[in-house]
Each structure stands twice: as structure tokens, then as C-alpha cells.
């Protein structure tokens, strides 16, 4: 792509390049658009091709020259990831930022133990993140620069009765991102963990109660600021940080009796 490394509006400033995995809807789509508006060339990956093409067409019409390149991909196709990652980097002319925003949370009843649903959550929320972010970690470590962002959830801070495996998948993602941060910070690489509360996406369909709901666009704007400031961990909105602090310190014998 001829304009991947230059910005015609700011010719002396190299144009940054980002890869967003899970970009067809929700936070991923909103963040891909935000990054494009902020001057990034964006590779947008998602499973749902029609939504992805619609997003890219809309943004590439609004932002000139074209800023978002679409790639259809299912994050559970792990064997495809190394080759696809290299192809995306070649198309972009390099890589400065990767965001893993793919996620799934099917409805799980309080008396339900469905391994098929549990497996899907682990494969998408955790294994897909590891498969993609390992690729970026290896590249960024050798380059001595780069930024890795994982969209986790406040749900990963404690094991709640309502969604044991969703909680576990996000807790695993949190720990993986922390370990990457501890490994890569000394190599000049930033790793950011994003922990949203309730965001107005399809995942809210399975939430029995919601409050402090923010839009995907509000989340994307806050995430971009966290990227710009090279934050380590942020909650969305920020008041969830205090809630999480309280939740993490509730004694287990009390917490297990709570209904959320």
C-alpha cells in the first residue's frame, strides 16, 4: 500500500499502523474507526465479512485517503494466524499497535454447565488472544518498540456465580497481559489491559442487570487516550476501578453468597 508509511497532511510525521482483531462490531469496530480518525492506517480483522466490509466502506468514504483495510478471519483458526499476521504487517508496511477486541459471552443459566459454550469462550476470549498477541510480542520484542492492547473485562477480577467460564477467560487474559507487560516493558514495549464495565454491545443481552452503561464510541475514545498515554491498566468508566477494589477485598465467605 503506497500510503502506509506517510501522512500527506503531516508529511514529516510517519503514519502509525494498527491491527484490530475483532473489528466488525462493538468496541473493536468503534476503536478501528477512532484510530483511523486519529491518523492510523488500520487493518481490521473479523469473522463477519459483511459487517467488516460495511465498516471499512463507511470509514474509507469519510476519511481520505483510505485508512481501514479489511481481513476476514475467525480467531479460532489458530493455524492461520502466523501467516496472516505476516501478511497484514507486509500490507501495512509495519506495525505499531495491536488490539485484541474479539470476545464472546453466550447466555449461561445458573444451573447450566455446557462445555460447548465454555469451550467457545476460552477459545475466543483467551486462546485467540494468546495466538495473536504472541505474534505481536515476538515482533515488538525484536524491534524494541510497539504497543499491545487487550480488551478484557471487570468480570475477570473475581469469580462470580453467573458466568464462571467467562470470568475465567477474562481472568486468564488479565494474567497473560500482565506477564507480557512484565516481560516486554524492559524491551521498550507497552502492554495495556482494558477492563470495561457495561458497554452497549450485544454482550449486554445476557446481563440480568446493567448500570453505568457507556457506548462503544465512548469506550473507544477512552481506550485511545489510554494508548496515547501508554497506560498499563484502565477501567471503563474509571469509577469501576473503585468498585473493583471493593469487590476484590470482599471475604470469600461473603462473596460466595452474593447473587452477581
pLDDT tens-digit series, residues 216-254: 999 999 999 999 999 999 999 999 889 888 888 888 878
* pTM confidence score: 0.90
Q: How many other C-beta atoms can be found within 10 angstroms of the C-beta atom of residue 164?
A: 14
Q: Which three cell numbers stand for residue 248?
A: 476484590
Q: Which of 40, 71, 100, 166 is catalytic?
A: 166
Active site residue 40: no
Identify the residue with better confidence: 60 or 138: 138
How many whole angstroms separate alpha carbon 152 and alpha carbon 195? 5
What SS3 class is residue 86? Answer: helix
In the chain, where the domains are located: 17-255
DSSP 80: G
For the domain spanning 17-255, the CATH number is 3.40.50.720
Higher pLDDT, 14 or 179: 179
Amino acid at each position: 500500500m503506497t500510503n502506509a508509511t506517510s501522512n500527506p497532511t503531516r508529511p514529516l510525521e510517519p503514519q502509525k499502523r494498527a491491527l484490530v482483531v475483532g473489528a466488525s462490531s462493538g468496541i473493536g469496530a468503534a476503536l478501528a474507526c477512532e484510530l483511523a480518525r486519529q491518523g492510523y492506517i488500520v487493518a481490521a480483522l473479523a469473522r463477519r465479512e459483511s459487517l467488516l466490509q460495511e465498516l471499512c466502506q463507511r470509514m474509507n468514504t469519510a476519511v481520505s485517503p483510505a485508512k481501514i483495510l479489511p481481513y476476514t478471519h475467525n480467531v479460532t483458526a489458530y493455524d492461520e494466524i502466523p501467516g496472516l499476521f505476516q501478511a497484514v504487517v507486509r500490507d501495512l508496511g509495519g506495525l505499531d499497535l495491536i488490539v485484541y477486541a474479539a470476545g464472546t459471552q453466550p447466555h449461561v443459566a445458573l444451573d447450566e454447565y455446557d462445555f460447548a459454550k465454555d469451550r467457545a469462550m476460552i477459545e475466543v476470549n483467551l486462546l485467540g488472544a494468546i495466538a495473536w498477541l504472541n505474534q505481536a510480542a515476538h515482533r515488538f520484542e525484536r524491534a524494541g518498540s510497539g504497543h499491545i492492547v487487550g480488551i478484557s473485562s471487570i468480570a475477570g477480577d473475581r469469580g462470580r456465580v453467573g458466568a464462571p467460564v467467562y470470568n475465567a477467560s477474562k481472568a486468564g487474559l488479565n494474567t497473560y497481559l500482565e506477564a507480557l507487560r512484565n516481560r516486554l516493558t524492559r524491551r521498550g514495549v507497552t502492554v495495556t489491559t482494558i477492563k470495561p464495565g457495561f458497554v452497549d454491545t450485544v454482550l449486554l443481552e445476557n446481563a440480568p442487570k446493567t448500570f453505568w452503561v457507556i457506548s462503544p464510541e465512548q469506550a473507544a475514545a477512552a481506550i485511545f487516550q489510554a494508548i496515547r498515554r501508554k497506560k498499563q491498566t484502565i477501567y471503563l468508566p474509571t469509577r469501576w476501578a473503585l468498585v473493583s477494589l471493593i469487590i476484590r477485598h470482599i471475604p470469600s465467605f461473603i462473596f460466595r453468597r452474593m447473587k452477581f
